[in-house]
Amino acid sequence: MVAAARLCVVCFGVARPGRSGRGILCVSSRRATSRPSPAGELYVSIRREYIARHRSLILQQSKQCGSGHQLARSIRCHVDALVQSEVGTLSSGNAIPAADNPTRGRHQALTIALHWVTALLVLVQIALGILHDQVSGAEIRRGVLEAHRSLGVAIWILVMGRLAWRVLGMRLPPFPPSMPRWHQWGARLSEWGLYGLMSAQALTGIAATVLRGRPFDLFGIQVPSLTAADIAWATTAQGLHALAAYALASLVLVHAGAAVLHRVIADDGVLDSMLPVPRKARGTRIHGSQSDGCGAGDFRHG
């Protein structure tokens, strides 16, 4: 029993025998020498936080364990699971090297909100564009076109705000180490491509409207004619607007498809990093087996 307790102290900083015979919890500053650390100093800090947060549960569990070795194996498994599931959230600002982060940490709340608001508006905008081509009533078409035009301007303003946030205040969590370099560059190009196409959509749409030389409605307000009619340039702007719409819809599909593949196949936290509601951490509740040495019981964290 003394040897098992020493194993706990040296490897995990978990317990040491007291004079009364009960396990007294402690946190050792010594680092395990027989077991490589999955995340270096970060692993040590998470281990200490785990023990501090669940001191009473570990005490209760120690009474049910057959030996100190069994308790040590149980805590090791649960700390390892905590490192795998929360290594990106327990560190300050997700500022950890990609090599130490098996899954991607979450984006900032403002980044997530801007992403999903933009996605919703773009989907509505695409639906309005399709609806405008399908309806036949002149009055309905005029109303749909005004809504499409106004929403396009709103999206352009939102994109400008996102670009400012992207440059000045946005913090990007590192890509997971399993993600190839070419895939990382593809993700970056996709992001900037979406910014560019959304901006181009709004600018070409407004240009096509203004170059017709007629008053138009925007957000329920009639805007007077701003320039003389130039049908040739208006037609060119309208053609570019349609072309950019197809390109934007295609890139949105690729972007969404890649996110789903990251979740279904890779499961590397890329999609989870942008979900409005955090996904329940893997390893929150772990049931061990005799084969993996985690059969000493069940701990919860959080």
Asked if 92 contacts 289 with a C-beta cutoff of 8 angstroms, the reply is: no
Instruction: Please report the pLDDT score of residue 42 as a whole number.
Output: 64
Please report, as a single letter, which amino acid is at residue 89: T
Measured CA to CA, the distance from residue 133 to residue 217 in angstroms comes to: 19
Backbone φ/ψ region at 21: left (φ over 0), alpha (ψ -120 to 50), beta: left
Instruction: Please report the pLDDT score of residue 91 as a whole number.
Output: 42
Token duo for residue 76: 């090791």
Mapping DSSP to helix (H, G, I), strand (E, B) and coil, where does residue 53 land? helix
Instruction: Please report the pLDDT score of residue 20 as a whole number.
Output: 41
- DSSP bridge pairs for 17: 23
Q: Please, which residues have CB within 8 angstroms of residue 220's CB and are 6 or more apart in sequence?
A: 146, 150
Residues of the chain within CATH 1.20.950 domain(s) are: 109-274
Instruction: Please report the pLDDT score of residue 102 as a whole number.
Output: 52
Instruction: Please report the pLDDT score of residue 31 as a whole number.
Output: 43
Q: What CATH architecture applies to the domain 109-274?
A: Up-down Bundle (1.20)
Token duo for residue 252: 């949105």
Q: Please, which residues have CB within 8 angstroms of residue 52's CB and are 6 or more apart in sequence?
A: 27
Q: What is the CA radius of gyration of the chain?
A: 28
Per-residue pLDDT of the chain (302 residues; tens, 9 = 90+): 444 444 444 344 444 444 444 443 444 444 444 444 444 666 666 767 767 666 666 666 665 555 566 666 666 666 665 555 554 444 444 433 434 445 677 889 999 999 999 999 999 999 998 998 888 888 898 899 999 999 999 999 999 999 999 999 888 888 888 888 998 899 999 999 999 999 999 999 999 999 999 999 999 899 998 989 999 999 999 999 999 999 999 999 999 999 898 888 878 888 888 888 877 655 333 333 334 445 444 444 44
Instruction: Please report the pLDDT score of residue 175 as a whole number.
Output: 84
- Condensed to tens digits (0 to 9), the pLDDT of residues 258-283 reads 989 888 887 888 888 888 887 765 53
Asked if 47 contacts 25 with a C-beta cutoff of 8 angstroms, the reply is: no
Query: What's 175-190 look like in SS3?
Result: CCCCCCHHHHHHHHHH
Q: What is the pairing mode between strands 216-218 and 23-25?
A: unpaired
Instruction: Please report the pLDDT score of residue 96 as a whole number.
Output: 39
For residue 31, CA distances in Å to 34, 40, 73, 99 come to 9, 10, 16, 20
